[in-house]
Amino acid sequence: MSHKAWGGRFSQPTDKRVEAFTESISFDARLADVDITGSQAHARMLADVGLLTATERDQIVSTLEEIRQVIHRGEMPWRTELEDIHMHIESELIRRLGDTGRKLHTGRSRNDQVSTDIKLYVRDAIDHLDQLLETVQRAFVSRGERDLDVVLPAYTHLQRAQPVCATHYWLCYAEKFQRDRDRLADCRKRVNVSPLGAAALAGTSLPINRHKTAQYLGFDGVAANSLDISSDRDYLVEFTSALGLIAAHLSTWAEEWILWCTTEFGILHLPDAFTTGSSIMPQKKNPDVLELTRGKSARVIGAVQQLFVLIKGLPLAYNRDLQEDKLAMFTAYDTVAACLDLAAPVVEQAVLKRDVINARLEDGFLDATTLMEYLIRKGVPMRSGHEIVGKLVADCEAAKKRLADLSLAEFQAANPLIENDVYESLGARNVVRMLQSYGSGGLGPVKEQLAAWTKRLG
Cα three-residue angle 97-38-119, rounded to 5 degrees: 150
Cβ atoms of residues 119 and 188 within 8 Å: no
CB 389 within 8 A of CB 418: no
Helix segments in 261-381, DSSP class H: 288-311, 325-349, 354-359, 368-377
Query: What does each C-alpha distance from 357 to 53, 272, 367, 416, 446 come to in angstroms?
Result: 74, 21, 16, 34, 19
Residue 157 known to be catalytic: yes
Return the bridge partners of 66, or none. Answer: none
| Residue 78, phi then psi, degrees to nearest 5 | -90, 130
Tell me how far apart the alpha carbons of residues 329 and 237 are, in angstroms, rounded to a whole number. Answer: 9
Alpha carbon of residue 94 to chain centroid? 40
**CA-to-CA distance for 348 and 336, rounded, in angstroms?**
19
Tell me which of 26, 62, 278, 384 is the catalytic residue: 278
Rounded CA-CA distance 85/26 in Å is 9
- 383 backbone dihedrals φ, ψ, rounded to 5°: -65, -35
Given the residues 157, 205, 279, 437, select the one marked as catalytic: 157
DSSP string for 273-302: GG-B--SS-TT--B-HHHHHHHHHHHHHHH
Helix 234-260 × helix 288-311 angle, to 10°: 160
The sign of the dihedral angle between the CA atoms of 239, 240, 244, 246 is positive
Catalytic, 42? Answer: no
3-state secondary structure of 440: coil
Kindly list the catalytic residues: 157, 278
